[in-house]
Amino acid sequence: MDQQLELLLEIQDLRMQRRELTDGSTDLEAEVFDVKIEDAIRLLDEKVEELAERLARGIRDRYRRIADKAPRVVAPVINGICYGCFVAVSTARASEADRNLRVESCEYCGCFLYHVG
Amino acid sequence: MQLRELFVPSAINLDLAAETKDEALKELVSCLGLDGKSEGILYKMLKRRENLGSTGIGRGIAIPHCRSLVVTRLRVAFGRKLSGLDFKAIDEKPVRYVFLIVAPPLEVSNQYLPVLGKIAQFGKEADVPESLAELSSPEQFIELLEAKDL
């Protein structure tokens, strides 16, 4: 897997974790797991920023543009469908043997793509 | 969906080889049948979640959990280490029973949080630690969930 894509995946997963801490649906984290929500959010923000700084400049600029506008910066591609916009990615792209070996984006929604499975 | 329908025997390990929390996380992740790269990413994410606060909820039970792009559906696993693992649990006692929960960012059925809640509730029942200690096969684990109507 492309190392930049791997960084993007980590960033996306951490952003998802942060989102769940802030959207009010995870009282469980505070009540069951005794997580200090504000501290956790700060730690996640710091980690996301640290990882973002490790992205190559062009990818980082693109990441920041997407991240400013949308909660999702990386979308999974499952069975040829981009789960960012639910549009089929091109057949050639979906069937490439070297998928996930380079950073690519959805031509419709702009999300970075991660081929799952 | 019932909790027991999510557990498959291959993801129930009643005799973890792990001696540490990190090893236990790796061992449980390896039960999910992902490729090596995905396992690595998932392990890293679980560790990051643990850094926010231990998922050891006390009474010998831990529930490491996270969402990750590397899975396409909700996945669960159970591991037991009767001699105990240092999980930095809330009650500072060793953890013997580990429930792993991993979900993709998007789930049509949105089961992740309900499953997390159900397992947390299950772990709080008075007789559960003793029942988990007595299990001798993965099938009995499923039967225990069934007996609890989970």
Chain B hits for A6, CB-CB cut-off 8 Å, are 37, 41
Instruction: Dig out the tokens for B114 from the structure.
Output: 């309900």
Q: What ipTM does the predicted assembly reach? A: 0.80
* B-chain residue closest to A83, CA distance: B106
> Apex CA A17: angle with CA A12 and CA A21, to 5°?
145
The Cβ of residue B17 has, within 10 Å, a number of other Cβ atoms equal to: 10
Contact at CB, B37 and A43, closer than 8 angstroms: no
Residue-range domain boundaries for chain A: 3-115
Contact at CB, B66 and A14, closer than 8 angstroms: no
Contact at CB, B113 and A116, closer than 8 angstroms: no
Has residue B113 got a pLDDT over 90? Answer: no
Instruction: Dig out the tokens for A8 from the structure.
Output: 């993007």
Q: For B2-29, how does the pLDDT look when each residue is reduced to its tens digit (9 = 90+)?
A: 899 999 999 999 999 999 999 999 999 9
What are the two backbone dihedrals, phi and then psi, of residue A42, each rounded to the nearest 5 degrees? Answer: -60, -45
pLDDT in tens, chain A (117 residues): 889 999 999 999 999 888 888 876 667 888 888 888 889 999 999 999 999 999 999 999 999 999 988 888 999 998 889 988 999 987 665 556 667 888 999 999 999 999 886
The Cβ of residue B95 has, within 10 Å, a number of other Cβ atoms equal to: 28
What are the two backbone dihedrals, phi and then psi, of residue A101, each rounded to the nearest 5 degrees? Answer: -95, 0
Contact at CB, A74 and B68, closer than 8 angstroms: no
> What CATH number does the domain containing B74 carry?
3.40.930.10
Residue B10, pLDDT score: 93
Q: What is the DSSP letter of B5?
A: G
Contact at CB, A76 and B57, closer than 8 angstroms: no
Q: For B41-59, how does the pLDDT look when each residue is reduced to its tens digit (9 = 90+)?
A: 999 999 999 988 899 999 9
Say how many domains are in chain B.
Answer: 1
Q: Which of A16, A26, A34 is opposite residue B90, by nearest beta carbon?
A: A34
Helix or strand (DSSP H, E) at B115: helix B112-124
Q: Which residues of B touch A (CB under 8 A)?
A: 37, 41, 44-45, 48-49, 51-55, 57, 63, 66-72, 90, 104-106, 113, 116-117, 120
The type of residue at A10 is E
Nearest Cα of chain A lies from the Cα of B42 at a distance, in angstroms, of: 9
Contact at CB, A9 and B69, closer than 8 angstroms: yes
Structural domain boundaries enclosing B9: 3-147
